[in-house]
Amino acid sequence: MTKDELRAELERKEQRFKDVYGGEITTYAAQPEPERKPWRKKASLLDQAFKQELQKMESDLKEEL
């Protein structure tokens, strides 16, 4: 079954439902795909050590003042 045949079949079923059952058809918009979060690099041991050293330096400077 091709897409066109499927669309035609669905339209026939929709029309039959409206005519025979007096029903109401509600169509919904497709849900958007969720946004992908940007990839972030995990901090290496060297990065963590560098950050700790910076924090230590900042705390030493604050203590001096």
Beta-carbon contacts of residue 14 (< 8 Å; ≥ 6 apart) = 25
Q: How many domains does the chain have?
A: 1
Q: Is the pLDDT of residue 65 over 80?
A: no
The percent of residues in the chain predicted with pLDDT above 90, rounded, is 32
> What residue numbers bound the domain in which 23 lies?
3-64
Quote the pLDDT of residue 58.
Answer: 94
Cβ count near 39 (within 10 Å)? 5
